[in-house]
Copies of this chain bind each other. A is one copy, B any other.
Amino acid sequence: MGRAAREASRTMARADTEVKNRALAAIAAELEANRIELAKANAADMQAGRERGLDAALLDRLELNDERIDGMIEGLIQVADLPDPVGEIEDLCYRPSGIQVGKMRVPLGVVGIIYESRPNVTIDAASLCLKSGNATILRGGSEALQSNRAIAACISAGLREAGLPQTAVQVVDTSDRAAVGALITMPDYVDVIVPRGGTGLIERVSREASVPVIKHLHGVCHVYIDDLADEQKAFEIALNAKTHRYGVCNAMETLLVAEAIAGKILPRLAEAYTLKGVELRGCERSREIWPQINVASDSDWSEEYLAPILAIRVVADMDGAMDHIARYGSGHTEAIVTQDYSRSRRFLAEVDASSVIINASTRFADGFEYGLGAEIGISTDKIHARGPVGLEGLTSQKWIVLGDGHIRR
């Protein structure tokens, strides 16, 4: 499979935008035409999952209903509409030697995606890799094997219709866990691995991979309410960052409040959170201000709850907040609410995270909100791709030199 992918990657790298878009449209049409087959395959997976005693959350993610098939089709059309990053030339300029030097955007080559139960990831990942000119090897969860096979058949048919090699998107058709081990240790055939799933999967892949990994670990995001914050903005942002959605990586998990404003803003926020059913766990100082807050233990500061639970800490000032973030933050998304110009400038420059936000909700840290279109994940790494990873994150740049007989003197 690795060799076939490497071979296909050369064809994909030079495929015209129009051909790639035709393949995306053809795959969408195949999904539309095979709704019954997809439903059957998924029903078999669901049945097997129930028999194996998978929990309700897992079964929900596994399900491929009509609405989710609509979503996959919609996703394919959206990716086809995105501009093709391949071949873009940047910064081309003449050098004193007379040569022209610039950078050209090119596909990474072969992208391996390892993911868990949700079968719609098969289409999301395949479409982004295809548009960015990469070959892909997809390894889904064993519980979704039948669904992924049915989706893979649609992808193959779509590629064939567009005249692209069917090996451009390969789905690992085995539930053997050794397949993951093989995929992440063949740097000659795979250029990058993107694991998508729980922390266990991502940590295992990162630890064992000899291929570079674009990964998203935790999202322990903070909002810091500065004492020079506009109170109403602070209230709305802190509420939105926690309660807009709970199970997402860009939700706030810890609220930091400056001592000088805590007495005013915390009671108002605590009431609003409680009305929404959010459990509060706070430091001692926060509990003096609002006694209904539960006691936070030290482990709460590093917790990614993904649930209606919020840790609260009163800090002396912005430096205290930045120290807390440097120590407990996961480098995902950090926000400050302040009206002070100098502090906003410092926070922006000094906080080390994939997204740093001034006076807006952490929920904006997202590929669609940033204008990337679909995203393959949100990277908490600093190397290569950081933050929401769209088409550009699946590409690299090479240097190009245009001469006319130039030699080095």
Contacts and interface: CB of A to CB of B under 8 A. Distances in A.
Given A401-B364, A405-B236, A95 B369 contact: yes
B371 A101 contact: yes
A40 to B, nearest CB: 38
Contacts of A384: 383-384
A397 B379 CA distance: 12
A390 to B, nearest CB: 12
A279 interface: no
A407 interface: yes
> Which size class do A's interface residues fall under?
35 or more
A230 interface: yes
Q: How many monomers of this protein are in the complex?
A: 2
Contacts of A125: none
B407 A363 contact: yes
A383 B233 CA distance: 40
A402 interface: yes
A293 interface: no
A360 to B, nearest CB: 3
B407 A108 contact: no
Interface in A378-405: 381-384, 386-388, 396-405
A354 interface: yes
Interface in A299-323: none
Nearest to A360: B403
Interface in A311-354: 326, 335, 346, 348-350, 352-354
A240 interface: yes
Contact of A369 (B97, B359, B388): B97
Given A358-B401, A400-B355, A401-B364, A240 B191 contact: no
